[in-house]
Every structure is written in C-alpha cells, then in structure tokens.
Structure 1
Amino acid sequence: MEYHELNPLIRGRELELLSNETFERMIQTNSVEALGEILKSTIYSPYIYDGYEYDFEQNLLKEQSRLFRWLKESAPEPEIVWIYTMRYTFHNLKVLTKAEMTNQNLDHLYIDDGFYSLETLKDAIHTQVSNELPESIMDSIREVRDYFEESTILQGIDVIYDRQFLTEQRRLADKLGYQELLTEVIAFIDLTNITTMARGILQKRTYGFMTTVLSSSGSIEKEVFLNFVDKDMEAYTNFLLETDYAEFLRPVIREGNLDLVKLEQLKDDYLSSLYQEAQTQAFGPLPLLAFLNAKEVESKNLRLLVIGKRSHFEPETIRKRVRQVYDA
C-alpha cells in the first residue's frame, strides 16, 4: 500500500513510452534526419535539432538523470530505485578508481546514478572512508585498493567490482523481500554467470581466474560452472540445455556453440518479460520496477537506432538487434 500514491504517477509516465508501432516507423526511416522528425512528436523532442545525433547519447543521460532523481525522491523505498541504478554506481567506481590509481582525470566518464555524486565517490576512493556510501560498497573499494597494492593490472579492478555488483544486487533483493524483484535479480545473476563462463571457455581462462569472476549469488552454484573450465563449448552447451534456462537458451545454441551477441539481446527480453505482470498490479513496487526496465530498454533501442541510421544500416539489420518494447 506504500506505493498507492506513486503507482498512478508511474502509469502516467508509461504513456510517454515509445510504442512498438513508433519503433517500427523509426526502423523504416531512410536517414537519421527522418528518424529525428518522428522523435519530435515524443518526449525526446527537446533533443532534436540539426546534428542532434552527435549529442544524443549525452542527452539521453540527462533524461535518465532526471528520471532517477525524481524516482529517488518519490519512491517509498529509494533502494528499489538504486537496485536498478546501481550498475551506474559500479561503473563510476571502476572509472574513478582507475583515475585515482593512474593519476588521470576521468570525470567526463561519470554517469549520474541519482544517488552518489562525483565528489562523494572520488572522496571515498581517495580516503577509503565515507559517511554516505553503504559499508558494503566501501568494502568493495577497500578490496580493490588491497588488490592494487599487490598488482598493477587494471583489469583486476573491473573483475572485483563486477563480482561485488552482483553480490550487492542479491543482498539488496533479499533485504527488500519482494519475490518479483528477487526472481529478476537471480535470473540476471545466473545469465551473467552463463555468459561469463562461455567467454572464459573461449578465452581458455584458468580455474583461478574463473573463481574470481563468477558470482556465488545466483541459483546455479559457482562450482557447477567451474567444472567446465577445462572442457569445450559443446560440453558446456549440453549442460545449459539441462538447466531451468534451457528453453530460453535453445535459440542461441547451435551445433555446440553459443551466440553471445544474440544471448545479450535475449537476456534483456527475458528479464523484461518477468515484469509483464506489472500491467495488472495496482500495489507494490512492481510497476516502478517495470517502468525502470522499460526506460532502460527504450534508451538502448534509441541508441541503436541513432547509431544505425548514422551508419546507414539496413532496416532489417537494425530490427534484429532491437530489444522487446514494453507497451503500456
């Protein structure tokens, strides 16, 4: 019932989402200028002008920042919002930690997550203490600092933060206690592990490396994945076809190989499908979660369209890469 005031506002914002029909019209356009003409009749109209395609990424981030801040202020449980914007928190931690370790200025790569400012994160990384960041995030920052005292390989920073991101996702989902959210988070972790293990097999990564990069927070035990470190892709795909994700994965498995590009697209569609129930719910956080997911998918599709039209891709090439759209 805490969401009874916010959810009607979410329903109103859902009407601003671009429909499947609008996306199809944009796919069929023959130029980035024609694409812009369609966008002029949407909420993105302020960002359409001569040469808009060169600023569109930054303008999408501005739109995203406003949405995150509104939802943080409006949601009964701001942590519900952060579980989605957390990916940007960890992106910022990666970038700013590398800047600290290499004495570079990478402030321009910061993405507003609606919660933690550039100055807050930089100060936490520099001093190793913070009154604003959760202690679990500070533990991640300190683990990275300890790692860097023994190694100068920057990739290790990404590995540690990526693993800690998934751990924090599961911790927060468990704490909030919403089954729909927990189901999505566990699926996200499982599918991330599935992709990570596939890349590890292709790159012939060691057992030690895979132990570090795989998450222990999903429904499939890390040790199960580690059994495939020295095996080929066919053995791995045969295993995947015996998991609960078999039907989902079947379209991206062919002759013992896994199509990782197509898998990323299907992963987004699969996670979106978990929120379709939101269309019939009036209470709880599910409509908020569904809306956040829909906005993220919409942004990905718009980036794809603008880049595709700038690069003169054929409509069919773009259509194959567009994610499933949430129709309110």
Structure 2
Amino acid sequence: MKQSTYHELNPLVRLKELDLLAPELMARMIKAEDLTEVEALFRGTIYGEFLSDDFYESFEEALGTAQDNLLAELVKIIPDPNVIWIYTMRFTFHNLKALIKADLLDKNFDELYIYDGFYSLEQIKTAIRTGQASGLPDILLDSIREVREHFEESNSLQGIDIILDRKFLYCQRKIADTINEPELTQEVISFIDFTNILMTARGIKQKRSRNFMSTALSSQGIIPKEELLDCVEVGLEKLISYLRTTTYNEIIEPIIEDNTIDLSQLERLCDDYLTSFYETAQTQAFGPLPVLALLNAKAIETKNLRLIITGKRVGLTDDQIRERMRETYGT
C-alpha cells in the first residue's frame, strides 16, 4: 500500500476531527447541575439531530447512528479497507458471539448487531446457518466452524467467548502485519498484551486453572503467554512482580497498591496508552494513521459521553466522573 494514496482522504479526516467535541464542552457537561443541563448541551452537538424527545432513552441510539454514518462515509473512500476493519473488527466479533449463540439457542438476538462497515446482519446469519462464505473472509468462517465443533463436543456455550476472543486477537495481529505500518503494529501488539494482562488478573481473582487460562490467553503479543500462565499458578503478587519487569512497568505502577491492581483503572490506562500511539497522526499528511486516530477519538468520545450521562443519572460526583474519563489524542 502506498502512503500517497491517502493524500485525498486525510484532508477529509481533518475536517471530521472538527466535529469532535471540545474538551471545554466536556468539562461543562461534567460540571452540569443535573441531567437536564447535560441534555441541553448534548442537543447542541452533532448528536442532537439523532435524539428523540426522551433524551435518556435515545442518547445511545444517537451515539450509534453518528458512528455508523462516519464508518459508512470512510469505508467508501478508504484506499485499504483493512485499515477500517482493524478498528471495527471488535464489532464483527461481537456480532459473531451474539448471532452464533442466537442460532444455537434458537433465539433472536438481532437487536445486538452493531454495524462494522462491512458485514451485514444477514451475511453473518447466513454464514452461521450454512457455513458458506456469504462474503465473509476465511478467518471468520474458520471461527464459526471452530465454535460449532466446540459446541457439538461439549454442548456448552461457555467456550464460545473464549474461542472468539482469541480469534479476534489473532486476526488483529494478522491484519496489522498485512498493513505493515510500524506504529499500528505496535499499537495492536500492546492492545493484545494489555488484554492478556487484564484476563490474567481476572483469572487469578476468579481462581481459574492454568489449563483454562491457556485457552483464553493469546500468543500474539510480546509478553510470553507461558510467563503469564506461570503467574496464574502463583497468584496476583507474582503477576505484579512480573509486570514490573516488563516494558509496561511505568504505565501500570500508578494503579498498584498493597500488591493488588485496580482492574477498572487498568482498562482506563490501557485506553489512554493505546491512544498515545496516535499522537504522531496529528502531523502525518499521508498513511493510514490519521483515519485510525479519528476512529479512536470518536470511540473515546462515545465512552466519555456515556460515562458523563450515566454518571449524572446515578449520582456520581464530578471527581468520580473525571477519574474515569479517557484521554483523547491531542488533549
């Protein structure tokens, strides 16, 4: 892929960045006295046109519609569709999880479908039902087959998420290597490492066995899977001690206290760390990083808006909301 092919796309990306909400507006939402004031501010943004009269019932739909519209526009003009899919692949695998379970249970989970820019609800349902291509890449068909084989052998839904989560991380690394953009590859590797760290910490707290965790963890990161599995057998203190020897030591250290890790803060740190990889996109005129940075910023904005609106509704303090907020690149 030649970076020069992005010279027409990236000016559009810069225009779309102007639609991102300013930090000052987010700060006003946090300081709002109540949900009514938040609603008034929200209705004045690009999301306002997608709201119904019932703000709290429709704000999620508004966030989703804005995301769908952005994806649909970008997919039409992106030089390499894999650049978009590496970001929306999380939606693809979410859809596989929901729709495979629906098929196995003879239920209708169509409302759980999330637009990923590429594979329609009917395409995925047809592939699940028939095992045929239906426009899906081989890696997704392989994932469907593996899940079906697991279910036929065990008659259990328990392993479906584990299989698909592992396939997702494998596919992330494979597509990143294909795109061959160093910053993107490093971002994906770090995402896999953080996912493994989070799963390991949760597995230890849930007293999962080494065999169980071996099926859950990915081998696609730079932290060796076997070394994380060794920590599973010993405990959280061993994991913390080990993480202090890795390249992620300085990132994780602030949330270690009394030999334990705040898992919710670990998720936030992961988001912030991965966002930092897109800092270079602000000065790039070519290549795929600016469009990925835009998608990331949009996703972080959505998380922050959801946090503010839900937090105000349930009575979180301003400080409690702020400490949970994700950073966006350039802020």
TM-score, normalised via structure 1 length: 0.98
2:132 paired with 1:133: no
2:66 paired residue number? 63
Tell me, in whole angstroms, the C-alpha distance in 2 between the residues paired with 1:209 and 1:90.
21
What is the SS of the residue equivalent to 2:37? helix
- 2:52 matches 1:52: no
Paired amino acid for 2:255: V
Is the contact made by 1:272 and 1:293 (CA closer than 8 Å) also made in structure 2?
yes
Partners of 1:200 and 1:210 within 8 A in 2: yes
SS for the counterpart of 2:5 is coil
Cα deviations by residue, 1:170-199 (Å, 9 ceiling, x for unpaired): 000001111111010000000000001111
SS at match of 1:215: coil
The reply on whether 1:185 has 2:219 as its aligned counterpart is no
State the Cα distance separating 1:309 from its structure 2 match. Answer: 1.6
Q: Which residue number corresponds to residue 300 of structure 1?
A: 303
The yes-or-no answer on 1:3 pairing with 2:6 is: yes
Distance in 1 separating the partners of 2:95 and 2:175: 19
Shift of 1:254: 1.2
> Is 1:17 the equivalent of 2:24?
no
Contact 2:123–2:134 under 8 Å retained in 1:
no
Contact in 2 for aligned 1:19/1:326 (Cα 8 Å): no
Q: Which 10-residue stretch deviates more, 318-327 or 271-280?
A: 318-327
Provide the C-alpha distance between the structure 1 equivalents of 2:158 and 2:179, rounded to a whole number of angstroms: 32
Mapping of residues 192-207 of structure 1, within 5 Å: 192-207=195-210
Task: Confirm or deny: 8 A CA contact 1:294 1:325 kept in the other structure.
Answer: yes
Cα deviation code 1:1-39 (max 9, x no counterpart):
110000000000101111211111110001111012112
Contact 1:71 1:78 in 2 (8 A): no
- Deviation readout 1:87-122 (Å, 9 max, x if unpaired): 000000000000010110111111111110000000
Q: Does 1:72 align with 2:66?
A: no
Unaligned runs of 5+ residues in structure 1 are none
| Offset, 1:326 | 3.2
Tell me if structure 1 keeps the 8 A contact 2:255–2:266: yes
Question: How far apart, CA to CA, are the structure 1 residues paired with 2:51 and 2:328?
Answer: 22
Q: Output the amino acid matched with 2:73.
A: W
- The answer (yes or no) to whether the contact 2:218–2:225 under 8 Å persists in 1 is yes
| 1:287 matches 2:287 | no
Matched residue SS, 2:312: helix
Asked whether 1:119 is paired with 2:122, we answer yes
Contact 1:14 / 1:291 at 8 angstroms: preserved in 2?
A: yes
1:89 aligns with 2:77: no
Which structure carries more relative contact order (alpha carbon 8 Å, separation 6+)?
A: 1
Q: TM-score, structure 2 length as denominator?
A: 0.97
User: 1:262-283: CA deviations, max 9, x gaps?
Assistant: 0001111110011111111111
- 1:49 CA drift (Å): 5.1
Q: Give the whole-Å Cα distance in 2 for the aligned partners of 1:148 and 1:85.
A: 26
**Match of 2:211?**
208
Tell me if the contact between 1:235 and 1:256 (Cα under 8 Å) persists in the aligned partners: no
User: For residues 116 and 228 of structure 1, what CA distance do their matches in structure 2 show?
Assistant: 39
Question: Aligned residue pairs: how many?
Answer: 328
Q: CA deviation at 1:327?
A: 4.0
Report the 3-state secondary structure (helix = DSSP H, G, I; strand = E; otherwise coil) of the residue aligned with 1:243: coil
C-alpha spacing 1:41/1:326, structure 2 compared with 1 (3 Å):
farther
Of 273, 281, 299, the residue aligned with 1:278 is 281
**Matches of 1:18 and 1:321 in 2, distance apart?**
18
Alignment of 1:134-153 (within 5 A): 134-153=137-156
Is residue 252 of structure 2 the alignment partner of residue 242 of structure 1? no
